[in-house]
Chain A
Amino acid sequence: MQHSKTQDTMVGLFVAIGIAALFFMALQISNLGSYSSGDSYTISANFQNSGGLKVKSPVSVAGVKIGRVSSITLNNESHEAVVEMRIEAQYNNLPDDSGASIYTAGLLGEQYISIDPGSSEDYLQDKSKIDITSSAIVLEEMIGKFMLNKAEGK
């Protein structure tokens, strides 16, 4: 039965390596390692233009990621983009007069929401809304304005 024993060991080793590879994929390759413990609350903000913002884009304060965009819908009456964000529960002391802006990481990079904390004593709660927003900068629009200014200046 010696043969069968080494065979079992080899199979055990193979399965162990396979499972280790799965864990490696889960933790090192995908975003599972950086998932929050699950507790979170939702806030929303209206933007004139959400640009290239996508669901799962990061939400950050001072460059530190505190949550993700959970949905982007259009308000049918005001024709504004309603962006909902899930913020991790540990960041529960954002002042309620904070502002939200859409920025681009690098010139052509991914778009993300940056929250500039205000100075109010009251904090943003679940389902509360950020009123002060600034839209995504659309590169074509900027270039268009720049060209127009140039032409008028002459």
Chain B
Amino acid sequence: MFEFLEHLGKDTRNSFAKLGRATFFLIHTLTGIGEVLPRPSLLMKQMYSVGVLSFLIIAISGLFVGMVLGLQGFYILSDFGAEESLGLMVAASLVRELGPVVSALLFAGRAGSALTAEIGLMKATEQLSGMEMMAVDPINRIISPRFLAGIISMPLLAAIFSAVGVIGGHLVGVGMLGVDDGAFWAQMQSGLDFNEDIINGIIKSIVFGFVVSWIALFEGYDTIPTSEGVSRATTRTVVNSAFSILGLDFILTALMFGDI
């Protein structure tokens, strides 16, 4: 019984300690962004590995998600004789939810895990300590550019996902199933508001980019410097990112679209 209580107390203390470390890490990273801006080459390199390399998986997934939405939506809507609303259904679900959420999940799997593994290995091979020995702040030099690249890339990737998804829905709906082209776009435009839908979707994706980059970089930085530690940290990144994305999505949706 006492042992159980002892474990519980230890776990609680550890998770609070970790939360505290993560917060200090975030503050340090954010202050480091100021030092990234004068050296855009650092940022460019990370934009390439975080953003450009995620582009293909995001675009292709977006296309297929849009096509599936087009197919499924058509079969349900045609029961009510409302096939013309297909455009609105596809675009609304992509712009409001699927675009930011699915691209963030893919981003966590594709870029987040890579970031954790990279930083974790740097720590395991004592490259980070080496930098400190040379009086180079590893957070400013290594972490901040990656963090900034993640925040910039995420909304762009989500926008690409949604746009490609709408085109996919158009291909299936108008091209294959014969929904009227004009009605497809007109319903979409009259149903979606720029400020309410598009901007809120972009805000969501920026928040997800922030959270995923933070989790991925912190797990890498905080890893136990062994090969097992790195592999565990990578798993934790993907799992925690997925939880945070889905949980935050509910909260953000309730704040943005609900009347709370």
Binding site for B on A (CB under 8 A): 4, 7-8, 10-11, 13-15, 17-22, 24-26, 28-35, 56, 58
Name B130-155 residues within 8 Å CB distance of A. 153, 155
A69 CA to B198 CA in the complex, in Å? 21
B145 to chain A, nearest CB (A): 12
A20 CA to B202 CA in the complex, in Å? 14
Could you tell me if A24 and B51 are in contact, using CB atoms closer than 8 angstroms? no
Could you tell me if A30 and B197 are in contact, using CB atoms closer than 8 angstroms? yes
B65 to chain A, nearest CB (A): 15
- Residues of A near B198 (CB, < 8 A) are 25-26, 29-30, 32
Could you tell me if B192 and A29 are in contact, using CB atoms closer than 8 angstroms? yes
- Residues of A near B41 (CB, < 8 A) are 4
B260 to chain A, nearest CB (A): 19
Task: Take A11-B51, A25-B198 as given contacts and tell me if A18 and B192 are in contact as well, using a CB distance cutoff of 8 Å.
Answer: no
- Residues of A near B188 (CB, < 8 A) are 29
- Residues of A near B159 (CB, < 8 A) are 18, 21-22, 25
* Nearest chain A residue, comparing its CB with the CB of B202: A22
Q: Quick one: which of B153, B156, B193 contacts A19, CB cutoff 8 A?
A: B156
A64 CA to B201 CA in the complex, in Å? 31
A32 CA to B52 CA in the complex, in Å? 28
Number of residues on chain B facing chain A (CB within 8 A)? 31
Binds A, one of B23-31, B160-168, B171-179, B232-240: B160-168
Nearest 9 A-B pairs (CB), nearest first? A18-B156, A21-B163, A21-B159, A32-B194, A30-B194, A30-B192, A21-B160, A14-B52, A11-B47
Task: Take A29-B91, A29-B189 as given contacts and tell me if A7 and B45 are in contact as well, using a CB distance cutoff of 8 Å.
Answer: yes
- 16 residue pairs of the A-B complex, CB under 8 angstroms, read A11-B44, A15-B47, A15-B156, A24-B163, A25-B159, A25-B198, A26-B194, A26-B198, A28-B185, A28-B189, A29-B166, A29-B192, A30-B192, A30-B193, A30-B194, A31-B193
B55 within 8 A of A: yes
A56 CA to B196 CA in the complex, in Å? 12
Could you tell me if A14 and B162 are in contact, using CB atoms closer than 8 angstroms? no
B179 to chain A, nearest CB (A): 16
Could you tell me if A25 and B162 are in contact, using CB atoms closer than 8 angstroms? yes
- Residues of B near A7 (CB, < 8 A) are 44-45, 48
A28 CA to B194 CA in the complex, in Å? 10
- Residues of A near B163 (CB, < 8 A) are 20-21, 24-25, 29
Q: Quick one: which of A14, A21, A22, A31 contacts B192, CB cutoff 8 A?
A: A31
- Residues of B near A26 (CB, < 8 A) are 194, 198
A114 to chain B, nearest CB (A): 16
Residue from A21, A26, A33 with most neighbouring chain B CB atoms (10 Å) = A21
B149 to chain A, nearest CB (A): 9
* Nearest chain A residue, comparing its CB with the CB of B45: A7
Given contacts A7-B44, A31-B193, 15 further A-B contacts (CB under 8 A): A7-B45, A11-B44, A18-B160, A21-B156, A21-B160, A21-B162, A21-B163, A25-B95, A28-B166, A29-B162, A29-B189, A30-B192, A31-B189, A33-B189, A58-B190
